[in-house]
Amino acid sequence: MEQKTARLTVLIDPDKKKAFETLCAQQDQTPSQVVRRLIRDYLAAHGVDYKPDTAASR
Protein backbone atom coordinates (compact mmCIF):
# COMPACT_ATOMS: atom_id res chain seq x y z
CA MET A 1 0.00 0.00 0.00
CA GLU A 2 1.19 3.49 -0.80
CA GLN A 3 2.22 5.77 2.02
CA LYS A 4 0.27 8.97 2.61
CA THR A 5 2.66 11.71 1.57
CA ALA A 6 0.67 14.52 -0.04
CA ARG A 7 -2.83 15.89 -0.39
CA LEU A 8 -4.53 16.63 -3.70
CA THR A 9 -7.49 19.01 -3.63
CA VAL A 10 -9.97 18.68 -6.47
CA LEU A 11 -12.98 20.91 -7.00
CA ILE A 12 -15.96 19.15 -8.59
CA ASP A 13 -19.70 19.56 -8.86
CA PRO A 14 -21.39 18.49 -5.58
CA ASP A 15 -23.80 16.14 -7.39
CA LYS A 16 -20.93 14.46 -9.22
CA LYS A 17 -19.06 14.08 -5.90
CA LYS A 18 -22.08 12.43 -4.27
CA ALA A 19 -22.54 10.05 -7.21
CA PHE A 20 -18.83 9.15 -7.08
CA GLU A 21 -18.93 8.52 -3.32
CA THR A 22 -22.06 6.38 -3.69
CA LEU A 23 -20.50 4.27 -6.44
CA CYS A 24 -17.28 3.84 -4.44
CA ALA A 25 -19.29 2.69 -1.41
CA GLN A 26 -21.22 0.20 -3.56
CA GLN A 27 -17.89 -1.22 -4.71
CA ASP A 28 -16.52 -1.32 -1.14
CA GLN A 29 -13.76 1.16 -1.97
CA THR A 30 -12.92 4.59 -0.65
CA PRO A 31 -12.83 7.53 -3.04
CA SER A 32 -9.12 7.91 -2.21
CA GLN A 33 -8.41 4.32 -3.27
CA VAL A 34 -10.13 4.89 -6.60
CA VAL A 35 -8.36 8.19 -7.26
CA ARG A 36 -4.95 6.68 -6.42
CA ARG A 37 -5.64 3.82 -8.85
CA LEU A 38 -6.77 6.28 -11.55
CA ILE A 39 -3.56 8.27 -11.13
CA ARG A 40 -1.38 5.12 -11.28
CA ASP A 41 -3.23 3.93 -14.41
CA TYR A 42 -3.00 7.37 -16.05
CA LEU A 43 0.75 7.56 -15.45
CA ALA A 44 1.25 4.03 -16.77
CA ALA A 45 -0.88 4.71 -19.86
CA HIS A 46 1.30 7.69 -20.70
CA GLY A 47 4.58 5.88 -20.05
CA VAL A 48 5.48 7.93 -17.00
CA ASP A 49 7.86 6.04 -14.74
CA TYR A 50 8.25 7.27 -11.20
CA LYS A 51 9.85 6.14 -7.97
CA PRO A 52 8.30 7.11 -4.66
CA ASP A 53 10.53 9.48 -2.69
CA THR A 54 11.61 7.33 0.25
CA ALA A 55 12.31 10.40 2.41
CA ALA A 56 8.74 11.69 1.90
CA SER A 57 7.18 8.36 2.82
CA ARG A 58 8.69 8.23 6.28
pLDDT in tens, 36-49: 999 999 999 999 99
The model carries a pTM of 0.78
On whether residue 6 sits in a domain, the answer given is: no
pLDDT per position as a tens digit, 2-56: 676 789 999 999 999 999 999 999 999 999 999 999 999 999 999 999 877 655 5
Instruction: Compute the radius of gyration of the chain from its Cα atoms.
Output: 14
4: which DSSP letter?
P
On whether residue 7 sits in a domain, the answer given is: no
Please name which of 54, 29, 46, 39 lies closest in space to residue 8, comparing C-alpha atoms: 39
On whether residue 4 sits in a domain, the answer given is: no
On whether residue 40 sits in a domain, the answer given is: yes
Q: In which domain, by residue range, is 32 found?
A: 14-45
On whether residue 52 sits in a domain, the answer given is: no
On whether residue 38 sits in a domain, the answer given is: yes
Residue 24 Cα to chain centre, angstroms: 12
Interatomic CA distance for residues 30 and 13, integer angstroms: 18
Cβ atoms of residues 3 and 51 within 8 Å: no
Domain count for the chain: 1
On whether residue 29 sits in a domain, the answer given is: yes
